[in-house]
Structure 1
Amino acid sequence: MSTRDLLVLGTASAVPTKSRNHNGYLVRWDGQGLLFDPGEGTQRQMVRAGVAAHDIDWICVTHFHGDHCLGVPGVIQRIARDGVEHPVRAVFPAAGQHYWERLRHATAFRDTEVVHERPLDGAHAEIDSGGSPFTLSARRLDHPVEAYGYRLEEPDGVTMLPDRLAEHGVGGPLVGRLQREGRVTARDGRTVTLEECSVPRPGQKLAFVMDTRLCAAAYELADGVDMLVIESTFLEEDAALAREYAHLTVRQAGEIAAKGGVRRLVLTHFSERYRAEDFPRFAEQAAECYGGDIVLARDLDRISVPARRRA
């Protein structure tokens, strides 16, 4: 069975704590690894989690604040040092190209040519996924520096119905041909269509939303996804700080998930001002407006993407 999950490498915001590293999130999807926002210490967190540079196919940076990108030099140099041969696509805001260049070449090392840059520009960007088993898109969020959220989608498909196939006399190699071509001629000479023997199968979807105020793009990214990974920097009583620093409260994260019909809400990017005894309140405040599955992310958690929705 293919793996589709989230490996959490860090859950702090601007300042790491003893128990929470700077940001870092590895989404594993059918043999491909998408590393989102590698903050400082990501390389060591990867070692602790048992993943290697060879597990990275994408590096996706939402914006160029340090807690979301200071791990880029170590990750790139590890890709080079370990001799990764497959392409690694690097996606980041075009407005921060100069920051990317500084991070990409932060120190002297034997460089690699496998990293392929794909700067983002505009309010909505479709990203060439290069034959990956998903589509990837980005939308610009509302933050003091140019920032993007990401949306990963498996294309919709179909589920074949064995009883319908038998009823229409379709079996063996004809089943695969029916899936590929949409219609076949059965053994009795009848034409059988794919719609007669299947039901739609919605593809799985995941969204990744980091630093932002409430904005239309955040709702659009979260719409209909199976799992939403989202910043929840502040508790609701600190909403004034959230507005000042262009972040979300955890209740706002819950509102986004509720309006989008999200199935699993993963809360992360917590301010260092909160102590261990404060964290149950994050789940409580999100649940005030969101009735689905809430996961309060911890470093080195592995969180599965919910199974596909039924048609």
Structure 2
Amino acid sequence: MELYFLGTNAGVPSLQRNVTSVALRLLEERGTIWLFDCGEGTQHQILRSPLKLSKLEYIFVTHMHGDHIFGLPGLLSSRGAQGAATKVTVFGPVGIQSFLQTALTLSQSRVNYPLDIVEHDGGVLLEDGTFKVEAARLEHRVDSYGYRITEKDRPGSLDLDQLQALGLKPGPLYGRLKRGESVELREGEMLHPSQVLLAPKKGRIVTILGDTRPCENVVPLAQDADVLLHEATFMHELADTAAEYFHSTSTQAAEAALQANARQLLLTHFSSRYKDVEHLQPLLEEAKAVFPDTKLAEDFALFPVTRRE
């Protein structure tokens, strides 16, 4: 599980940063990628990245502002032109269906693979054997949502030393035990998975927030998250400006991470007034003063999501 950034700027692109988009790479867990927002130029960013559109499974849109959605029609049509055939589902606020259907229809774009568009107003969006995705409304000029992605706990590894002590060699029985099946050692003697499986691997939690100023749903969405991705449009000296435009400062993002007991905070969605990484350092420093494990997102940066010990 890894986060790969395709755009970290707010509002409009700059020479240093594209507008918002981030991919959650789940190649080991599902063999797919999930995309969160798709600003203009996202497909160009993907061409310069190791990501493959053929692996795209879900797209989650936080809100309907152009710097988060203008790249969607082009990306979806290009995916079909590249020969991808697997289904893609787009989740987003009310309006996303009309926007995409209008853009694709009037441009006569062909999407020759299954495409579902699901509008929502929060709640549990999907849940299967590996992941659960929930959404809740934030506080922005339009309906904006944050997404909480929870990986289900996975069975622990086999205790190889114990298995060898029991005289079991690697083979089909190992697979059955790993799948939770009991096996017969000798006539009438059963070995149960609980006897030879180590502690379960705790599932990871990633929280990705759309544009927002501080509000009550931020902390529940980010509670105990392994990674919290939070906008930091301005330094805290511009807190009044941030509030006026329904955005957050780097200090406010750090305060949210602290209150939510997150493990790591990634800052993104930077105002164009901060032109390069050097100009972003003050935002990082003031966030780290509140929440030390904070990092700046950069275009084409990869952040692994590690498991808790």
Answer yes or no: is 1:181 the counterpart of 2:180. yes
Q: What is the count of residue pairs matched by the alignment?
A: 302
* Structure 1 residues 224 and 166, CA gap change in structure 2 (3 angstroms): farther
- Following superposition, the deviation at residue 250 of structure 1 comes to 0.8
Counterpart residue number, 1:162: 160
Distance in 2 between residues matched to 1:155 and 1:228, nearest whole Å: 18
- Give the CA deviation at 1:188: 7.1
Distance 1:109 1:96, change over 3 A: closer
Using the size of structure 1 for normalisation, the TM-score is: 0.88
Q: List gaps (5 residues or longer) in structure 1.
A: none
Measure how far apart 1:101 and its partner are.
Answer: 3.2
**2:68: which partner in 1?**
68
Is residue 41 of structure 2 the alignment partner of residue 6 of structure 1?
Answer: no
1:164 CA drift (Å): 4.1
- Residue of structure 2 in register with 1:200 after alignment: 200
Q: Is contact 1:84–1:114 with CA below 8 Å preserved after alignment? A: no
More displaced 10-residue stretch of structure 1: 69-78 or 296-305? 296-305
Distance 1:70 1:95, change over 3 A: closer
State the 1:111 CA deviation: 3.4
User: Is the CA contact 1:169–1:186 (under 8 Å) kept in the aligned structure 2?
Assistant: no
**Alpha-carbon offset, residue 217 of structure 1:** 2.1
Q: Could you tell me which residue of structure 1 aligns to residue 124 of structure 2?
A: 126
Query: Separation in 1 of the partners of 2:15 and 2:73?
Result: 23
- Note if contact 1:143-1:246 (Cα within 8 Å) is conserved in structure 2: yes
Distance change (3 Å), C-alpha of 1:195 and 1:258:
farther
1:75 offset after TM fit, Å?
Answer: 0.5
**Further displaced range: 170-179 or 281-290:** 170-179
**Structure 1 residue 260 displacement after superposition:** 2.6
* Cα deviation, residue 184, structure 1: 4.2
Name the CA distance, whole Å, in 1 between partners of 2:260 and 2:159.
30
Inter-partner Cα distance in structure 2 for 1:168 and 1:188: 15
- What's 1:300 paired with? 300
* Displacement of 1:297: 1.2
Instruction: Report the Cα offset of residue 19 of structure 1.
Output: 0.5
- Comparing 38-47 and 92-101, the one that deviates more: 92-101
Question: Measured at CA, do residues 67 and 191 of structure 1 come closer, stay the same or move farther in structure 2, by a change above 3 Å?
Answer: same
5 Å-filtered alignment, 1:92-111, equals 92-94=92-94, 96-105=96-105, 107-111=107-111
In structure 2, the residue matched to 1:88 is: 88
Unmatched runs of 5 consecutive residues or more in structure 2: none
Deviations 1:74-116 (A, max 9, x none): 1111022222100011111135443343344452223334211
Give the superposition deviation at 1:232: 1.0
Match of 2:251 in 1: 251
For 2:75 and 2:251, the matched residues in 1 are separated by 33
**TM-score normalised per structure 2:** 0.88
1:19 partnered with 2:19: no
How far off is 1:23 after superposition? 0.9
Contact 2:233–2:268, Cα closer than 8 Å, also in 1: yes
Alpha-carbon RMSD across the aligned residues, in angstroms, is 2.3
CA-CA distance at 1:183 after TM superposition = 4.2
Whether the 8 Å contact between 2:64 and 2:142 is mirrored in structure 1 is yes
Q: How far apart in 2 are the matches of 1:104 and 1:233?
A: 31
Correspondence for 1:149: 146
- Distance in 1, Cα, partners of 2:104 & 2:63: 15
Equivalent AA in structure 2 for residue 284 of structure 1: E
**Alignment partners' CA distance in 1, 2:204 and 2:224:** 9
Q: How far apart are the structure 1 equivalents of 2:172 and 2:11?
A: 56
Tell me the equivalent position of 1:287: 288
Amino acid aligned to 2:123: A
- Residues 2 and 304 in structure 2, CA contact (< 8 A), matched pair in contact too: yes
Q: Which amino acid aligns with 2:218?
A: A
